[in-house]
Amino acid sequence: MLDKAIQQVLKPVLTRMARTLVRAGVGADALSFIGFAIGMAAAVSIVFQHFMVGLVLLLLSRLMDGLDGAVARLTRPTDRGGFLDITLDFIFYAAIPLAFAVVDPAHNALPAAVLLASFMGTASSFLAFAIVASKRALASTAFPDKSFYFLGGLTEATETIAAFVAMCLWPQWFAPIAYGFAALCAITTALRIGWGWQRFK
């Protein structure tokens, strides 16, 4: 829901940083892998209950995720880069709830499982819509710079990161945060199914 507004605010800063990286010869794919590695380090930090370290690494990982696209747009975006970016993102999104489940299985395993199940709904509806949109040569007016059709909803990347930040700041409240965000993800999935049903009839 907030991705477009956040990206408009961050785009000038990311573009300036990306120009520096391009001059240094850093490619978009390298940034995708670096961001993913930092994201996995965030999950490991959470497992060992270093929640503030995990929070910092989590945010740094998302900075890399923003920079890889900015660098790609300044050089040459590729299908391989778009595939790599979204695949690694989804693995990262799954790793954070899993890390909290490992921290305290007795209290966190079920809410983490519910949240991960809701992520399956948002991810599958997102990707399925993109596949059919590509087949029909549809373009996203909201996110024209993306490598494929980006379908919005209540829970986009910005809201997901906000939920992860809240989990790191208040790990004792992981369960209600996870259940609440899972409910929002379920609404997003239902909306996307409705949009797809109407758009592709």
The two tokens of residue 35 are: 């961001």
Residue spans of alpha helices (H) in the chain: 3-23, 28-47, 51-74, 79-103, 105-135, 157-169, 174-199
What residue numbers bound the domain in which 145 lies?
A: 3-199
Size of the chain in residues? 201
Mean pLDDT per 10-residue interval, the chain, length 201 residues: 72 89 92 96 98 98 92 87 92 97 98 97 91 80 62 83 97 98 96 89 81
| CA–CA gap between residue 54 and residue 47 (Å, rounded) | 9
pLDDT for res 50: 98
Cβ neighbours, 10 Å, residue 50: 15
- For the chain, the maximum distance between any two Cα atoms, rounded to a whole number of angstroms, is 50
Q: At what angle do helices 157-169 and 174-199 cross, to 10 degrees?
A: 170
Cβ neighbours, 10 Å, residue 103: 18
Contact 98, 45 (CB under 8 A): no
Q: At what angle do helices 157-169 and 3-23 cross, to 10 degrees?
A: 90
6-32 burial, b if ≥16 CB within 10 A, otherwise e?
ebeeebeebeebbeebbeeebbbbebb
pLDDT for res 148: 63
pLDDT for res 154: 79
The two tokens of residue 6 are: 């956040």
Number of domains forming the structure of the chain: 1
Supply the CATH number for residue 151's domain.
Answer: 1.20.120.1760
